[in-house]
C-alpha cells in the first residue's frame, strides 16, 4: 500500500476510474450470471447463522446447509402462497376494475377536451400511439428469455446458496492468499466487516419490510380498502428499492384502489396512509434499523439505485445499496482509495472534526490582525 506513493496522483486516479469502468462493464455484460450469484451471496450471508446453529447441534455440514436453505424456501413459499390467494380474488374482480378504469378514462377525456380543447379523435390517436410503442418494446424483448429467465433464476439461487455456504472456507481462503502475507490481517478484517455489514443490513431490511407491511395493512384496513393485505405486502416489497420503490408502490396502490372504488376520498386516504408510513419509515425504521448498519449518504444511494437499475434492472436496484456498502468498507481500508470512501460515507467534515475548511478563515483573521 505504500508503493502507491511512487506513482503520480493522476496515475492512481486514472487506474481507479479504469477499474470502476471495467467493473461496470462486467456487471452490464454478465448480469444474467452475476445478479443471481450476488443475490445468492446475500442470502448465504443471511443464512450463515442458521447453518452454524445446526452445525453446533452436531449435524453434518451438508445437512445443516440443506436445512437452512429448506427453511428459507418454505418461508418464501408461504409468502408466495398467501400472495397467490389474494391474487386469485383480485383476478375475479378484474372485469369490474376494467369497467371502472374505462369510466374514469372517459371522464378524463371529457376533462381534457373541455380544458385543453383536444378532440376525442386526437386523444385516441395519442393513446393508440403510446400503446403501439409499448407493444413494440415488449415484442422486441426475447419472449423465451423473459419467461424462462425468472424461472431459471429461482432454480439457480438455492443451488448457488448451497454451494457458497459449502465452499465458504475455500472462497475466503482464496481471497486471503490473493494478497501478500503482510496484508493478511487487514484482508481478514475487511472480510469480517463486510460479513457484518451485509448480515446486519439484510436482517434490518427484513425487519423494516415487516414493519412497513404491518403499518400499511392497518392503515388500509381502517380505510376499508379491498385487498389490503395484498397491497400492503406488495408496497412493502417495492419499498425494498430505496427512494424510488415507495413512490411506485404509492402510485400503483392508488391506481388499483381507485379502479376498484372510484371515490376521491378513499384514494386521498390511501395517499395519506402511505405518506405517514413513509415518514415513519424514513425517520424511525431506516435510521434505527437500516441506516445504522450501512453508512452511505442519500445522494450516493439515489445515484447507485439509478445506476443499478440501468445495469441490471430491478435486481440491480435492490443490490445497489449493499454493493455500495461493501465498496465503502474496502475503500476505507485501502489508503489510495480512502477519498472514495469519504465520498460514499454520510459523515461531513464538520461532523468528523476536520478543520480543512476552517483554515482559510483563521489565516485571514491572523492577517487582518
DSSP string computed for 252-301: HHHHHHHHHS--HHHHHHHHHHHHHHHHHIIIIIIIIIITTT----HHHH
pLDDT digits (tens, 9 = 90+) for 322-361: 888 888 888 888 777 788 888 887 766 655 555 555 545 5
**H and E: helices and strands count for the chain:** 14, 0
pLDDT digits (tens, 9 = 90+) for 155-175: 788 899 999 999 998 998 898
pLDDT band at 17 (very low <50, low <70, confident <90, very high): confident
pLDDT band at 8 (very low <50, low <70, confident <90, very high): low
Out of 7-11, 62-66, 363-367, the most confident range is: 62-66
Contact at 8 Å (CB) between 249 and 231?
Answer: no
The Cα 308–Cα 171 span in angstroms is: 25
7 Cβ contact partners less than 8 Å away, ≥ 6 residues apart: none
Q: Which residue has the higher pLDDT, 247 or 157?
A: 157
The Cα 214–Cα 125 span in angstroms is: 43
328 Cβ contact partners less than 8 Å away, ≥ 6 residues apart: 295, 296, 341, 344, 345
State phi, psi for 348 to the nearest 5 degrees.
Answer: -80, 160
State phi, psi for 171 to the nearest 5 degrees.
Answer: -65, -40
Nearest residue to 96 via CA among 226, 259, 214, 244: 259
With b for 16 or more beta-carbon neighbours within 10 A and e for fewer, the 184-214 pattern comes to eeebeebeebbeebbbbbbbbbeebbebbbe
pLDDT digits (tens, 9 = 90+) for 298-323: 788 778 888 888 888 777 888 888 88
Residue 145 has pLDDT above 50, yes or no: no
Residue 93 has pLDDT above 70, yes or no: no
pTM for the full model? 0.69
161 Cβ contact partners less than 8 Å away, ≥ 6 residues apart: 40, 43, 44, 47, 69, 72
State phi, psi for 96 to the nearest 5 degrees.
Answer: -65, -40
Lowest average pLDDT, out of 55-64, 87-96, 238-247, goes to: 87-96
What's the grid cell of residue 81?
402462497
Amino acid at each position: 500500500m505504500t508503493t502507491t506513493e511512487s506513482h503520480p496522483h493522476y496515475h492512481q486516479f486514472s487506474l481507479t476510474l479504469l477499474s470502476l469502468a471495467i467493473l461496470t462493464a462486467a456487471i452490464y455484460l454478465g448480469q444474467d450470471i452475476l445478479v443471481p450469484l450476488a443475490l445468492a451471496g446475500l442470502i448465504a450471508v443471511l443464512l450463515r447463522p442458521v447453518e452454524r446453529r445446526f452445525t453446533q447441534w452436531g449435524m453434518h455440514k451438508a445437512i445443516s446447509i440443506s436445512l437452512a436453505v429448506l427453511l428459507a424456501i418454505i418461508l418464501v413459499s408461504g409468502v408466495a402462497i398467501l400472495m397467490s390467494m389474494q391474487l386469485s380474488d383480485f383476478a375475479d374482480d378484474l372485469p369490474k376494475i376494467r369497467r371502472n378504469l374505462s369510466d374514469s378514462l372517459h371522464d378524463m377525456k371529457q376533462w381534457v377536451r373541455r380544458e385543453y380543447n383536444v378532440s376525442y379523435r386526437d386523444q385516441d390517436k395519442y393513446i393508440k400511439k403510446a400503446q403501439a410503442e409499448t407493444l413494440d418494446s415488449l415484442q422486441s424483448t426475447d419472449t423465451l428469455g423473459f419467461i424462462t429467465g425468472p424461472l431459471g433464476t429461482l432454480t439457480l439461487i438455492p443451488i448457488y446458496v448451497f454451494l457458497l455456504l459449502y465452499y465458504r472456507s475455500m472462497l475466503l481462503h482464496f481471497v486471503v492468499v490473493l494478497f501478500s502475507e503482510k496484508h493478511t490481517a487487514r484482508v481478514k478484517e475487511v472480510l469480517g466487516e463486510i460479513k457484518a455489514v451485509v448480515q446486519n443490513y439484510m436482517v434490518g431490511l427484513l425487519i423494516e419490510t415487516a414493519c412497513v407491511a404491518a403499518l400499511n395493512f392497518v392503515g388500509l384496513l381502517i380505510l376499508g380498502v379491498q385487498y389490503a393485505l395484498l397491497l400492503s405486502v406488495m408496497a412493502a416489497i417495492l419499498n425494498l428499492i430505496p427512494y424510488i420503490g415507495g413512490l411506485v408502490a404509492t402510485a400503483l396502490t392508488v391506481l388499483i384502489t381507485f379502479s376498484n372504488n372510484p371515490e376521491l376520498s378513499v384514494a386521498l386516504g390511501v395517499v395519506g396512509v402511505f405518506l405517514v408510513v413513509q415518514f415513519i419509515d424514513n425517520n424511525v425504521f431506516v435510521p434505527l434499523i437500516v441506516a445504522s448498519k450501512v453508512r452511505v449518504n442519500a445522494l450516493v444511494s439515489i445515484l447507485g439505485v439509478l445506476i443499478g437499475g440501468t445495469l441490471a434492472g430491478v435486481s440491480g436496484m435492490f443490490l445497489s445499496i449493499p454493493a455500495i456498502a461493501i465498496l465503502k468498507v474496502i475503500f476505507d481500508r485501502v489508503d489510495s482509495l480512502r477519498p472514495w470512501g469519504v465520498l460514499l460515507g454520510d459523515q461531513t467534515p464538520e461532523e468528523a472534526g476536520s478543520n480543512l475548511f476552517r483554515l482559510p478563515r483563521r489565516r485571514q483573521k491572523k492577517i487582518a490582525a
